[in-house]
Structure 1
Amino acid sequence: MTQAPAPNEPLLPEQEEKLRELTTQSWNLELVISGAALFAVLQLPDLLDEAFDYFRYNLMTQTAGMQGLFPSMAYSMMKAICYVLFVAFLTNFVMRGFWVGLVGLLAVYPTGIHYDRIPFSTKYAQDRMAAKLGTLNAYILRLDRRCNIVFAVAFLFVFILIIIAFSYLLTLLVYSFLRPLIPAQYWQGVKLIAYILLAGYMLIGIVLSLPRVRAHPSGANLYYQFSSLSKLLYFGLYKPFGFILNTFYSHLPYQKIIRTIALMMGILFVVIVFEFTADFSRLDRRSQGLNRRHLHSTRLDSLYINPSAYDNQRGEGQYIDLASIQEDVISNPYIRLYIAYPKALDTLLTRLAPEPVWSDTLPRATKRRLVAEWSNQQINRLIRIGINDSLYLKPDLLFAQRDQPQQRGWQTVLLPTNLKRGKNMLRISIQTDSSVREEEIVAIPFWYIPEK
């Protein structure tokens, strides 16, 4: 077994021979890896959908502003890169398969193409084809190089996806777990300090990148130290990322590097924008941006049928957006109601119902019971349920947790006495303040057709 050389030492003759042997036999590994990667990448979008839905309903504390927009943007970026990865590995798989076919053809006909023997062609056409296409051996070598380049570029996107995923998880950790631990009066100061540090980091990077600064020995040293600090942003992937990227940088002309980067960033930007629009339409089914209709509007709950609001229409494994009843057409004189309790709603309820200070001398079991009873009283006080034009006085909401997917909320069975034959309206609102009007959460239309 040969010992691995040091980073700056030249390869020994036997090591160079081993490397040549590996490179000539890499095509079979490329096919295996590309096939496995294609299968894995196809699973990622569905896994991302499930993970994001879970985060949106159970961990996301804010749905407005950048705190609500950033997760959707990062989620769409990761899905877009998955699709780019799929195209890259599929391209390599098809090109390498074609290359294998040509190698097999060369094994059958070792002399390659004889252009002077091509039938149904003039001497002029044969000469032009020979000049334009060249020999089969040369084409196989060129195709092999392109396959290797596509495969390396595909792994560049793999590293980018991993870096974005870790950055996304780190940001979610800050907003979902560390943010609640920081008092509100200090949060603005923490954000201001973070913005100042980010602006300072970017300003230092711009100054140290100036040619006049890098030309000075001290500036060159500072630039290198700053670049070394930036390695932390790669989450341990700096070396594999750097080897691929620097190999391209050192062999391609400067103008071609710029054009290639611009083209790749442009394609990625278009894919991200398209994916964000598609994901926004999936998350907000009322969005009309992609497919508008002149006399079609989904803005009013009372004039819109939301399949998520009915148990018999909601897809398997789909989250309830706001609230749900058993059917859109009810024949029994009762309504089985479920109200979703996303983490974002908890931000409002924490402000409307601050928890009282419990005595430290209370036994743990007693304190748990008192907290549960107090929580139930508060939610029944804050949530208002109206059927048609009447307020349902005693909804008696109980805490519940659905399975597949797991979703927390409140559930009750209503026995209204004012149901009318035909269309009825169920309205759910929250009393944000006793001095102001209730804020409507959702309105669910349904039809009551009693059994004969």
Structure 2
Amino acid sequence: MSDNTPSPVSQLTPDEQDKLRELTTQSWNLELAISGVAMFAILQLPDLLESVFSYLRYNYMTHTTGAAMMFPSLAYSLIRATCHVLFAAFLANFVMRAFWVGLVGLLAVFPSGIRYDRIPFSTPYAQQRMADELGPLDRYILWLDKRCNIVFALAFQFVFFLVVVALLYLLGLLIYLVIQPNVPANVWLGVKIALGALVAVFYLAIILLSQKKVKESPRGIRLHYRLAKLMQLMMMGLYRHTSYVTNTFYSNIRSGKLVQSAVIFMLVFFGVFILEYTNDFSRVNGRISPFNSRHLYSDRVDSLYIEPTVYDNQRPEGAFIGAASIQADVIREPYLRLFIAYPKALDTLLKQVAPEPAWSDTLSRQARRQQYAIWSSQQIRKLIRITVNDSAYAQPNLLFAKAGTQEQRGWQTVLVPGNLKTGHNLLRVALQDPRKKEADPLVSIPFWYVPEP
């Protein structure tokens, strides 16, 4: 059936064809400008991604496990890997096009190009071999111009891919960070099973409808078309734009060479992705080092490990506080200034163990806000458990606060423990779920008390 499908005939008028030809011949200067601007923009993107991901990691991934924790990291690494490949593509186009400009200028100075019979220090045989292998300069310029155009088109095709990945990333975040916490566990399990079944059916349909016998049957043709329309929806509105590039390659390159190029590209891309994910995982989870382990070294237990971010005097400027922090690792004064972070992820648990009461309708908005603040403070004092060495603080006097340049929301208090020992001490912070007998530990912070002489 595809053999009988006619190729669309260009409907451009002679004036429009001349205009297109003029634009084609002058596109190289725009390519240089666009490639330079694109490379500059791509270099700025990782810093923006880092700030956004740091916010998400603190607020939504601190107390989460499973897919909700892994999905943002995978998507973040995928976008960073895409940026690396995209930068390499625009850089290759910039260098190739700059070299092409140099050759065009050289041909303008020497219109005859390479005169192989006048190459010094060479024999006639060598001159003939070079002429056969290299060919004329103008033909090489045309060949290089085509390659520059192809690389530039592929680079923008990759831009569309990056946009689709970013949109799918936002959709996934919406599902895992907004919808999931508000759905009961049994309902969410059913949703995951249903989504898994739909994905399995989708891939099975792709395999079955790709079979030659199925595609040639009347029903198979209709189903194949509907599947194609479904895949268009997954492109988030970019299908029409990407199709011009993709279908041009599909219809002008041999299928074997196209598949070979696609396999090589995917291997390179996923190689970059794996390296980027490994690097990001090691950087985000600095205490997990599978490739640099020691026989008698463990950093999995808070009370046996010095984490710089839990000390105000060691935490890098602008860094988030993970769970809690005190003023320093070596305390000179007989008190502890404690800040406990309140990431958004804790809301899932706190809304369950401390449901908001029904306020009187007769209260004004200002009075209701005041009552809510007092009630919130009372609830968190009941839920937070603080222990210094072997002494526990019953209902510590926690006040609402914001910490650091990131203005992290949380609770702050000043502890004046009477059981501080000269030397090593240990502060523990836990969350007491009323439905459980044991409290859930949030963090353990070792410190040393060295009083002023």
TM score, norm. by length of structure 1: 0.92
Letter in 2 for 1:415: V
Instruction: Provide the residue aligned with 2:111 in structure 1.
Output: 110
RMSD: 2.2
Contact 1:89 1:151 in 2 (8 A): yes
State the SS of the aligned residue for 2:320. Answer: coil
Distance in 2 of aligned mates of 1:183 and 1:301: 32
Contact 1:113 1:135 in 2 (8 A): yes
Distance in 1 of aligned mates of 2:304 and 2:183: 42
Question: Once structures 1 and 2 are overlaid, which stretch shifts more, 410-419 or 361-370?
Answer: 361-370
Superposed CA offset, 1:84-119 (max 9, x none): 111111111111111111112222222222223323
1:133-152 correspondence to structure 2 within 5 Å: 133-152=134-153
Contact 2:62 2:322 in 1 (8 A): no
The Cα shift of 1:129 comes to: 2.1
Distance in 1 of aligned mates of 2:53 and 2:342: 17
The Cα shift of 1:261 comes to: 1.1
Distance in 1 of aligned mates of 2:193 and 2:393: 47
Superposed CA offset, 1:222-243 (max 9, x none): 3223312321111111111101
Instruction: Provide the residue aligned with 1:4 in structure 2.
Output: none
Question: Once structures 1 and 2 are overlaid, which stretch shifts more, 168-177 or 29-38?
Answer: 168-177
Matched, 1:186 2:177: no
Letter in 1 for 2:146: R
The Cα shift of 1:33 comes to: 0.4
Instruction: Provide the residue aligned with 2:384 in structure 1.
Output: 383
Instruction: Provide the residue aligned with 1:328 in structure 2.
Output: 329
Distance in 1 of aligned mates of 2:145 and 2:46: 31
Superposed CA offset, 1:310-358 (max 9, x none): 1222122211111111222222222211111112222233333333444
1:431-442 correspondence to structure 2 within 5 Å: 431-433=432-434, 436-442=437-443
The Cα shift of 1:191 comes to: 3.4
Question: Once structures 1 and 2 are overlaid, which stretch shifts more, 346-355 or 270-279?
Answer: 346-355
State the SS of the aligned residue for 2:317. Answer: coil
Distance in 1 of aligned mates of 2:328 and 2:291: 29
List runs of 5+ in structure 2 lacking aligned partners.
Answer: 1-7
Identity %: 56
Change (3 A) 1:183 1:438: closer
Distance in 1 of aligned mates of 2:137 and 2:33: 25
Instruction: Provide the residue aligned with 2:339 in structure 1.
Output: 338
Distance in 1 of aligned mates of 2:434 and 2:184: 23
Distance in 2 of aligned mates of 1:385 and 1:62: 18
Change (3 A) 1:253 1:84: same
Letter in 1 for 2:390: D
State the SS of the aligned residue for 1:313. Answer: coil
Question: Once structures 1 and 2 are overlaid, which stretch shifts more, 287-296 or 307-316?
Answer: 287-296
Letter in 2 for 1:314: R
1:236-255 correspondence to structure 2 within 5 Å: 236-255=237-256
State the SS of the aligned residue for 2:111. Answer: coil
Question: Once structures 1 and 2 are overlaid, which stretch shifts more, 235-244 or 303-312?
Answer: 303-312
Question: Once structures 1 and 2 are overlaid, which stretch shifts more, 377-386 or 43-52?
Answer: 377-386
Change (3 A) 1:393 1:181: closer
List runs of 5+ in structure 1 lacking aligned partners.
Answer: 1-6
Instruction: Provide the residue aligned with 2:236 in structure 1.
Output: 235
Distance in 1 of aligned mates of 2:309 and 2:426: 16
Contact 1:88 1:150 in 2 (8 A): yes
Letter in 1 for 2:298: S
1:210-289 correspondence to structure 2 within 5 Å: 210-289=211-290
Change (3 A) 1:141 1:295: farther
Contact 2:386 2:392 in 1 (8 A): yes
The Cα shift of 1:411 comes to: 1.0
1:392-411 correspondence to structure 2 within 5 Å: 392-393=393-394, 395-411=396-412
The Cα shift of 1:54 comes to: 1.4
Distance in 2 of aligned mates of 1:122 and 1:289: 61
Instruction: Provide the residue aligned with 2:76 in structure 1.
Output: 75
Question: Once structures 1 and 2 are overlaid, which stretch shifts more, 363-372 or 39-48?
Answer: 363-372
State the SS of the aligned residue for 2:131. Answer: helix
TM score, norm. by length of structure 2: 0.91
Distance in 1 of aligned mates of 2:306 and 2:62: 27
State the SS of the aligned residue for 2:263. Answer: helix
Superposed CA offset, 1:60-104 (max 9, x none): 586211122111111111111011111111111111111111112
Instruction: Provide the residue aligned with 1:3 in structure 2.
Output: none
Instruction: Provide the residue aligned with 2:319 in structure 1.
Output: 318
How many residue pairs get aligned? The number is: 446
